[in-house]
């Protein structure tokens, strides 16, 4: 009997069905010469410092650099410590029994870096020495599973993938453990989490927020003039903007007296716009966030469910291309959409298939996202949205290019250059697919209309010639205001994580100098449109398509940032951490991106894991020294107010609380109470008098506003004291 080990029970059930294993046992399914079991995700993890005899956070223990990492079963939090996960231990016993009794092992964990790590850690922890084969598939259709089982690969062929996965795991441990302990020691109180990818991501959010907050809007003026040709009028806009109203007004006065504008240049060309490439996970997450407000984690979860139901190919892919052999299957997949309620008409019209997304050299572990051809009979709601996005993008990607006639005219009037653009679509091609099916919110609608106006969509430029004088019929002077870069959304943050090595491009307005970029982690204006350049920069991304959503969710869980509608806003805690790490190595996104590039080299066999480990140990040592020598994390204000609890220490005021200076006392008076932030004066009243006056502005769990006093109870905890209400007297007659 052979054992097949999958990553999750749902995947194991699909494989068991295909190999005709139907006898359900405790922790596995047996039959057809196979026992199909599962790993429940990361059953085995690297041990925490306590296992190495290092307890608590102490400066003299840092940096912690285990010569060999100890592997232990998955842990769960219990009180202030951790204990082994009973479910993980039980499943490990099942796996060990099957592994030791079987004839051979087939690895069917997810076909990627983390999937390989999950199996290898189990294999190493259990001390199994039997050879194993690898099932490497990109979808869970019956056909894909059968073909994969017929073409199993020797497990040793994926050793480099494992080395890269192990190097990533150990790097995250070394940086995360040492940095977290160092900054917590430097802070003096509390625990503040830092990480190899988490921290530079936080820096991206904070730097954008601070730039947005500090931005000072400037008024500018722009000129326009209107000319008439027959019964039609055409409006030109000045190429420059003016930040000096007097200068702009003087030019406007001249324009009012001018009889005509002279055509300087005319450029007419046919533009052929290739369709967008297929989705990888990051692009799917970005568009789902922009169009539907889905979080990156939500999109990944939905795509994973669709994959496990065998409706789409493997979602955790970083590739937007497919190889030639997969391209041969595309006509059948498109035909599968003929009866689709949204895409049927477009699918039936598609008879020739654009090969823009076909390039086997650009396919990594898995090709781009595709539907599988299995009818999605139980897909509804948000799952249907993601499925339709993937199906719609397939139709776009394999449709013909869009053909436009694009014209640009420049004209001179009173020494000022004016521009008129015209754009006529001759063949819609791929643009017809989503034209009427895309759901748009008000913001998207306005953005698309603005872009159409800027591009001159629908404007047919007359057959003017250079030197022609165009009679003026009107002119205007409009005032505008410069705007800051918008706050990050999950979509723009994913883009920044994908391309941190791309230096920010800045635009300049007339009379206004360009501003320096902020640490090269964001893109200006529209996102990078050059697909080829984006592909070149991908190797220096921070995190991977599979892990970026989890990193973003970690920042929420650590209370480093919050969502405000679609925008990501750092909290006071997040900004405090950023103020310490922004100039340190751990906050450098480009450096973190280079580590990711090195991991890719290990995977390709171009770099030894040991060399990478040495570099990470040196890095961890440097950031530990930097953090330990940093200034105090939070600004504080020492007072001479005696602690009401111990009477020995004095109160120290922090942004989020007031605490006793005696660490053994532990008195903490939090500022935030029922949605109300208390002032230093109110905290002082509470400490000195044991009670405050009436405070307005508290909010109940039901969302209602109320007022009350605050008091310290016998355990020095803050409690409400409600004002007495006068009882209504008896009515007199």
For 496-562, the DSSP string reads HHH-TTSPPP----TT-PPPPPSTT----SSPP--HHHHHHHGGG-SS-TTTHHHHHHHHHHTTSEE
What tokens were used for 391?
Answer: 């199906």
322, 422, 452, 507, 577 from 236: Cα distances, Å: 44, 11, 15, 21, 49
**Cα distance between residue 28 and residue 35, in whole Å:** 6
Residues 6 or more apart whose CB falls under 8 angstroms from that of 644 comprise: 667, 687, 688, 690, 712, 716
**Cα distance between residue 638 and residue 652, in whole Å:** 5
Sign of CA dihedral 22, 24, 28, 34: negative
Among 96, 88, 70, CA closest to 5: 96
Please write down the long-range contacts of 238-242, taking CB distance under 8 Å and 24 or more positions apart.
238/416, 238/417, 238/418, 238/419, 239/410, 239/417, 239/418, 239/419, 240/416, 240/417, 240/509, 240/510, 240/511, 241/480, 241/509, 241/510, 241/511, 241/512, 242/510, 242/511
What tokens were used for 697?
Answer: 């502005």
Length of the chain in terms of residues written: 733
Angle at 43 between CA 39 and CA 47, to 5 degrees: 165
**Cα distance between residue 47 and residue 39, in whole Å:** 18
Q: What residues pair up with 272 in beta bridges, in sequence order?
A: 403
Q: Is 314 a catalytic residue?
A: yes
Task: Collapse the DSSP code of 212 into the 3-class scheme (helix H, G, I; strand E, B; otherwise coil) and give the result.
Answer: helix
Burial environment of residue 331 by CB neighbours within 10 A (0 to 12, 13 to 18, 19 or more): middle
What tokens were used for 197?
Answer: 């990818």
224, 416, 436 from 474: Cα distances, Å: 9, 15, 36
Among 221, 223, 246, CA closest to 236: 223
What tokens were used for 192?
Answer: 């503040």
Task: Collapse the DSSP code of 22 into the 3-class scheme (helix H, G, I; strand E, B; otherwise coil) and give the result.
Answer: coil
What tokens were used for 431?
Answer: 């643009």
Pairing of strands 637-642, 132-134: unpaired
Burial environment of residue 733 by CB neighbours within 10 A (0 to 12, 13 to 18, 19 or more): exposed
**Cα distance between residue 483 and residue 241, in whole Å:** 14
340's enclosing H/E stretch is none
Residues 6 or more apart whose CB falls under 8 angstroms from that of 499 comprise: 523, 528, 534, 537, 538, 540, 541
Q: What is the 3-state secondary structure (H, E, C) of 226-273?
A: EEEECCEEEEEEECCCECCHHHHHHHHHHHHHCCEEEEEEEEEEEEEE
Among 604, 609, 494, 610, CA closest to 542: 494
Residues 524, 269 contacting (CB under 8 angstroms): no
Residues 6 or more apart whose CB falls under 8 angstroms from that of 325 comprise: none
**Cα distance between residue 95 and residue 99, in whole Å:** 6
Q: Does 49 sit behind a cis peptide bond, omega within 30 degrees of 0 on the bond before it? A: no
Choosing from 314, 560, 578, 619, the catalytic residue is: 314
Q: Kindly list the catalytic residues.
A: 314
């Amino acid at each position: 009997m052979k054992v097949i080990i999958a990553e999750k029970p749902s995947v194991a059930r699909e494989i068991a069905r295909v190999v005709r294993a139907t006898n359900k046992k405790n922790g596995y399914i047996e039959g057809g010469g196979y026992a199909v079991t599962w790993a429940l995700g990361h059953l085995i993890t690297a041990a925490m410092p306590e296992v190495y005899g290092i307890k608590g956070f102490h400066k003299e223990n840092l940096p912690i650099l285990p010569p060999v990492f100890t592997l232990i079963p998955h842990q769960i939090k219990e009180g202030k410590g951790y204990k082994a996960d009973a479910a993980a231990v039980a499943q490990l016993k099942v796996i060990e029994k099957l592994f030791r009794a079987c004839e051979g092992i087939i690895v069917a964990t997810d076909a990627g870096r983390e999937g390989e790590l999950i199996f290898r850690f189990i294999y190493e922890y259990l001390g199994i020495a039997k050879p194993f084969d690898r099932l490497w598939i990109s979808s869970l259709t019956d056909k894909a599973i059968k073909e994969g089982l017929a073409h199993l690969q020797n497990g040793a062929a994926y050793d480099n993938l494992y080395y890269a996965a192990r190097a990533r795991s150990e790097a995250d441990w070394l940086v995360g453990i040492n940095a977290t302990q160092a900054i917590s020691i430097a802070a003096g109180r509390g625990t503040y989490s830092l990480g190899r990818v988490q921290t530079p991501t936080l820096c991206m959010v904070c730097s954008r927020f601070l730039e947005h907050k500090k931005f000072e809007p400037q008024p500018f003026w722009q000129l326009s003039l209107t000319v008439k040709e027959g019964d039609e009028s055409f409006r030109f806009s000045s190429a420059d903007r003016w930040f000096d109203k007097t200068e702009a007004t003087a030019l406007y006065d001249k324009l009012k007296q001018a009889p005509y504008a002279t055509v300087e240049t005319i450029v007419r060309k046919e533009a052929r716009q290739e369709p967008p490439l297929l989705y990888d996970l990051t692009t799917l997450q970005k568009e789902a966030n922009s169009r539907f407000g889905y979080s990156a984690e939500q999109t990944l979860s939905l795509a994973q469910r669709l994959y496990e139901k065998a409706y789409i190919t493997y979602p955790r892919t970083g590739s937007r291309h497919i190889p030639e052999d997969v391209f041969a299957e595309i006509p059948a997949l498109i035909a599968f959409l003929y009866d689709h309620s949204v895409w049927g008409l477009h699918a039936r019209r598609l008879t020739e298939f654009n090969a823009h997304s076909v390039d086997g050299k650009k396919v990594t572990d898995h090709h781009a996202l595709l539907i599988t051809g299995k009818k999605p009979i139980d897909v509804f709601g948000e799952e249907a949205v993601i499925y339709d996005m993937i199906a719609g993008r397939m139709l776009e990607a394999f449709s013909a290019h869009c053909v436009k006639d694009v014209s640009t005219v420049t004209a001179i009037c009173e020494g000022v250059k004016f521009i008129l653009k015209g754009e006529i679509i001759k063949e819609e091609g791929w643009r017809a697919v989503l034209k009427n099916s895309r759901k748009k919110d008000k913001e998207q609608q306005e953005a698309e209309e603005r872009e159409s106006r800027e591009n001159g969509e629908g404007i047919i430029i007359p057959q003017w010639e250079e030197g022609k004088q165009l009679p003026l019929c009107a002119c205007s002077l409009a005032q505008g205001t410069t705007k800051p870069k918008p706050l990050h959304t999950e979509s723009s943050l994913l883009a920044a994580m994908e391309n941190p090595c791309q230096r920010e491009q800045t635009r300049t307005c007339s009379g206004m100098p360009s501003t320096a970029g902020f640490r090269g982690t964001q893109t200006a204006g529209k996102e990078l449109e050059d697909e080829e350049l984006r592909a070149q920069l991908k190797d220096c991304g921070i995190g991977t398509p599979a892990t970026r959503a989890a990193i973003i969710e970690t920042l929420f869980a650590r209370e480093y940032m919050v969502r405000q509608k679609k925008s990501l806003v750092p909290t006071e805690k997040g900004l405090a951490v950023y103020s310490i790490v922004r100039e340190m190595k751990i906050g450098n996104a480009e450096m973190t991106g280079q580590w990711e590039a090195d991991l890719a080299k290990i995977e390709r066999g171009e770099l030894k894991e040991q060399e990478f480990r040495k570099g990470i140990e040196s890095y961890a040592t440097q950031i530990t020294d930097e953090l330990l020598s940093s200034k105090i994390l939070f600004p504080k204000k020492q007072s001479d107010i005696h602690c009401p609890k111990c009477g020995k220490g004095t109160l120290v005021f922090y942004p989020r609380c007031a605490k006793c200076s005696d660490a053994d006392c532990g008195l903490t008076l939090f500022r935030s109470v029922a949605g109300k932030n208390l002032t230093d004066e109110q905290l002082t009243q509470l400490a000195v008098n044991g009670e405050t006056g009436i405070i307005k502005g508290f909010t109940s769990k039901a969302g209602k506003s109320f007022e009350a006093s605050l008091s310290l109870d016998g355990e020095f905890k803050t409690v409400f004291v409600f004002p007495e209400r006068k009882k209504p007297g008896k009515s007199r007659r």
